[in-house]
Chain A
Amino acid sequence: MPKLQQKPVPLGSLHKGAKAEIVGLDETGIKTTLRKGELERRLIEMGLVEGTEVEILHEGFPKRDPIAVRAGTSTVALRRAEADAILVHKLSEPQR
């Protein structure tokens, strides 16, 4: 798949069907109950780490939240608010 050249966008902004590659994790600016650095570590433990290809498989209700993301062989559910800590390069747009 050709990589569309653009600057990284948060995973939380993508729609169902979009594919992307994780290029960075940045939890600053995310409102969370967790102590500093914890969200980043949890994301890595769930396999959401730089270099992983992800695809948005499903969206919840209402407000298309949370989202189910395929990462490698596993599928992870997370809320858009926290998905915004994951920076990605879009690989393909959903067909609408």
Chain B
Amino acid sequence: MKKKRLSPKVALVGNPNCGKTALFNALTGSRQKVANYAGVTVERKEGLFISPAGTKVKLVDLPGTYSLRARSPDEEVTRDVVLGKMEDEAVPDAIICVADATNLRLNLRLVLEMKKLGLPIILALNMMDEAEKLGMAVDASELSAALGVPVVPTIAIRKEGIQGLVNQIDRTLPIAEVEGLIPHHGACEWTEPSSHDLRDYHREVEAILAQAISKPARPHTATHRLDKLLLHPAAGLFILFALLFFVFQAVFSWAAWPMDLIDGGIGLLTEAINSLLPDGALKSLIVDGVIAGVGSVVIFLPQILVLFLFIQLLEDSGYMARAAFLLDKMMGGVGLHGRAFIPLLSSFACAVPGIMAARTIENRADRIATIMIAPLMTCSARLPVYTLIIAAFVPNQNVMGGWIGLPGLVMFGLYAAGILSALLVALLLKQTILKGAREPLLMELPAYRLPRPRNVALGLYDRAKAFLTRAGTTIFALMIIVWFLGTFPAAPLDATEPAINYSIAGMIGHALEPILAPIGFNWQIAMALVPGMAAREVAVGVLGTIYALSDSGDALQSSLASVLAQSWSLPTALSLLAWFVFAPQCMATLGVVKRELNSWLWPFIMFFFLTTLAYVASFATFRAATAFFGG
């Protein structure tokens, strides 16, 4: 027998793009939390609202799905939660099915399937404004009678019908509780439907639609006209690439001033602590360890937000599915699925959300191939390293008739090297260990919609929170470890070398030097690579410390650049750039691969595979550059 719970749980279920997220936001506002980085609503979101009767209701947003037959990991979440098979997750007390009123056929089939669960169901008939615009007449009470569940019309983006919906929740929940006392309640009749059952569902839906809809919706002509251009084999692809180019441009230019601002803030904080605290281990821990370390990660927040702003806009408008459509055949050339586009795009900000976004790819082999090449997309953490070395070694002159700066060209070359090698690796993987046909595309192209600022803002807020939480926990802890390794044991009093030389990190660096000498790395670089495991960008800070510079931030980069220009040979610098194109030096990435694929094998393979690639690439670069420029 079920005990009365203080806050009942209601789950939101529906097809992708039915407006589930908008409805979730309308019900809970900012009282929501996401468990982790979300790629594209793949994470389970939870929120709270108080019903008119004063009940505190927990609302869980489940990944969009067309059926309970769970074809991908995120659809499995939906199935397991509603079936009560999810660990640490009670069966919901009621379910709100969300349906796009203008596209009812597929939505209602899911509702019929959900009814078999034996849980109380409410149907939110969403996008009623669109239905009206398209000249559609749908009778909610007829629909309710035919379906046998309460139906509430809503317009999620204008918060219309929300009152009716929460009132209905108040009516449904007490019934759920009373029925909880009846032994047969909750008897779940759901079993995996056969193709025969599915055809029966469809016939039932057609009958229900005939009863409830007196005037069908006109086709969405705006969408059709836009698609004529945006899905055009030539114009559409051109627009897609132009758009991508613009996004990259924006990630670097729009994020520049907030990054300067954060940098300035970190500088001020460092100064303040420098003047407040006496010299000693505590000050060194706070300034060199915590502020320098965590600061060097937090500074990427603006870039990540700009990138996610675009991803969110593309997602909400309905364009993302078009991008997958346009690229599917070409990406198929190297064995990738069209949907791999989103994870790979996200990986330019950071491989961690990118790898998580790969959850929308159903087939495991396709998903693994996408995950394995995600770290080859140049993430923003590699930028400081590239920037430093380019500033030190690449003359700032214009080439190609003065059109393009040489530093910019080198930067572009590094990005291109990452992308090209990713494609080659994908091809290799799909030809060998991940053999097999690609899984089918089968994807709905939703009608275009204007993204809503409020929903976009809430989505970005979730991302920022997740990113800062990570910086405040994982990276914080790692930085303390790195600081410890770089500080102890302390240098002897008569030390002639920088203190770090005598520390554990120094010993590791010296131990690694013989292995890295063939690719032109000295012990300082070897040492910088060790803490660089925690976060790549830390390597810059470590090099700064090693070369005994006390400045930080921009001052550090410019003066460090001139020191490097004198103490490294050009082949060494080029070799290090090549190393960073491939280097899998990011524990967060390896950790997320382990979690997403639930196996130690793949992070292991990724580590050795990418390290080998990096070593070979650096070796080749170093030898070629030595032969060409002299050692």
Residues of A within 8 A of B (CB): 25, 31-34, 37, 39-47, 49-50, 57-66, 68, 70, 72-79, 82
Contact = CB atoms under 8 A, between A and B. Distances in A.
A68 B329 contact: no
A44 B444 contact: no
Interface of B: 66-67, 69, 71, 102-106, 109, 193-195, 198-199, 202, 216-217, 219, 223-224, 227-228, 231, 233-234, 237, 321, 324-326, 328-330, 338, 363, 365, 436-445
A57 B231 CA distance: 10
14 contacts: A40-B195, A41-B194, A46-B444, A57-B224, A58-B325, A60-B326, A61-B233, A61-B234, A66-B338, A70-B219, A73-B219, A77-B324, A77-B325, A79-B328
Nearest to A76: B444
B442 A68 contact: no
A73 B445 contact: no
A68 B325 contact: yes
A45 B106 contact: yes
Given A39-B440, A49-B202, A60 B106 contact: no
Given A49-B199, A60-B329, A78-B441, A42 B71 contact: yes
Nearest to B338: A66
A65 B326 CA distance: 9
Contacts of B441: 66, 77-79, 82
A37 B195 CA distance: 8
B362 to A, nearest CB: 9
B71 A62 contact: no
A44 to B, nearest CB: 4
Contacts of A46: 66, 106, 442, 444
Contacts of A65: 328-329
Nearest to A60: B329
B105 A72 contact: yes
Contacts of A76: 442-445
B321 A32 contact: no
A39 B363 CA distance: 13
Given A49-B199, A57-B227, A61-B237, A78 B442 contact: yes
Contact of A41 (B69, B223, B234, B237): B69
B223 to A, nearest CB: 8
A39 B105 CA distance: 19
A34 B105 CA distance: 25
Given A46-B106, A60-B328, A68-B445, 4 more contacts: A33-B365, A41-B69, A58-B325, A66-B441
A82 B442 contact: yes
Contacts of A37: 194-195
Contacts of A70: 219
Given A34-B439, A82-B442, A68 B198 contact: no
B106 to A, nearest CB: 5
Contacts of B237: 61
Nearest to A27: B195
A44 B442 contact: no
Contacts of A63: 329
A47 B227 CA distance: 21
A60 B217 contact: no
A12 to B, nearest CB: 12
A67 B440 CA distance: 12
A46 B227 CA distance: 20
A62 B330 contact: yes
B227 A58 contact: yes
Contacts of B234: 61
Given A44-B199, A74-B106, A59 B233 contact: yes
Which of B193, B194, B328 has most A Cβ within 10 Å? B328
A12 B444 CA distance: 17
Contacts of B365: 33
Nearest to B65: A45
A42 B104 contact: no
Contacts of B106: 45-47, 74
Contact of B444 (A50, A62, A75): A75
Scoring B71, B234, B324, B445 by chain A CB atoms within 10 A of each residue's CB, the highest score goes to B445
A58 B235 CA distance: 13
Nearest to A31: B437
A35 B77 CA distance: 21
A58 B193 CA distance: 32
A82 B227 CA distance: 22
Contacts of A45: 66-67, 69, 106, 109, 198
Given A68-B445, A73-B103, A32 B329 contact: no
Given A33-B363, A49-B202, A66 B445 contact: no
Contacts of A50: 199
